[in-house]
């Protein structure tokens, strides 16, 4: 597993290669060696995220580039706010501009949407959790953005957590057999979570020793009943997570049922980029 710095380097190199190809034809209009200064401005209120990806786009092409930030990852920024000033080789700035802004706009969007959900459930015991419904090749980046927005990460991939879903249960022969097999094969410190679709399945999971249960597409009444059943039989030993078509309009009601976690696939799947612009002086 790459660390964050390795992931940023990999993300940025792929993005630049995709955009530049054999060379930036338009940037060749600029005299070689010319230096420019540019400002990045936010056009809307948002949570800033992606500073390291943004910087890496410019520094990869021109290591002498100077970037002075007036805000950092996780900061709430406002429309028309100046975020940073960039000074450096004009060709490099123009070539890296689009890739750099793409990262900053996308990651700020994920962080901003996460904060919206987190703010709505403030004061409850629940936390907002992401999923594996991420943009291909950008999972670690998007999960970093979720944390900047006040959420927490679920498993990064198929290798660092076990989530037993409907098809796994069917193939394994039932909830009990699936859980027992998972308990046999799970490496140390790897969590085991099982998805259930009814109170009857929840009861089976609790009887089989589940410690982490995903309540999939439960109604509000079913979620409340699931919390009551679980606390009665297992106390706080079992972590309950609600999932399935949860929106900003419904998430508070879901949190108030007493679940521990609420997973939201749209945080990383349905991304509407934050409007940022880069203007040269």
Q: Looking at the annotation, which residues are catalytic?
A: 98, 133, 165, 195, 216
Residue with tokens 């910087």: 55
The encoded tokens of residue 52 equal 């390291």
CA–CA gap between residue 57 and residue 158 (Å, rounded): 30
Residue with tokens 């039989």: 233
CA–CA gap between residue 229 and residue 246 (Å, rounded): 22
CA–CA gap between residue 163 and residue 182 (Å, rounded): 9
Query: Could you tell me which of 219, 210, 243 has the C-alpha nearest to residue 126?
Result: 243
Residue with tokens 């999923």: 131
**Which of helix, strand or coil describes residue 52?**
helix
SS3 content of the chain, % helix, strand, coil (to 5): 45, 20, 35
């Amino acid at each position: 597993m790459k660390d964050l710095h390795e992931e940023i380097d990999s993300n940025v190199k792929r993005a630049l290669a995709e955009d530049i190809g054999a060379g930036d034809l338009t940037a060749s209009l600029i005299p070689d060696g010319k230096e420019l200064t540019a400002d990045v401005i936010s056009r809307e209120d948002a949570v800033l995220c992606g500073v390291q990806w943004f910087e890496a786009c410019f520094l990869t092409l021109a290591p002498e580039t100077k970037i002075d930030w007036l805000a950092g990852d996780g900061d709430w920024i406002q429309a028309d706010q100046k975020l940073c000033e960039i000074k450096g080789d004009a060709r490099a700035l123009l070539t890296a501009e689009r890739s750099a802004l793409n990262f900053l706009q996308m990651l700020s969007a994920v962080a901003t949407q996460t904060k919206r959900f987190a703010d709505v459930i403030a004061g409850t015991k629940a936390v907002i959790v992401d999923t594996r419904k991420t943009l291909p090749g950008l999972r670690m980046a998007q999960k970093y953005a979720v944390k900047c927005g006040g959420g927490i990460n679920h498993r990064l991939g198929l290798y660092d957590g076990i989530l037993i879903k409907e098809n796994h249960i069917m193939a394994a022969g039932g909830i009990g057999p699936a859980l027992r097999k998972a308990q046999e094969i799970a490496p140390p410190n790897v969590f085991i979570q099982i998805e259930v679709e009814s109170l009857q399945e929840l009861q089976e999971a609790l009887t089989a020793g589940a410690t982490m249960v995903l309540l999939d597409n439960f109604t509000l009444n079913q979620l409340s009943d699931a919390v009551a059943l679980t606390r009665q039989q297992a106390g706080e030993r079992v972590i309950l997570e609600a999932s399935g078509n949860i929106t900003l309009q419904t998430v508070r009601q879901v949190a108030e049922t007493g679940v521990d976690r609420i997973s939201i696939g749209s945080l990383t799947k349905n991304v509407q980029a934050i409007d940022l612009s880069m203007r040269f002086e």
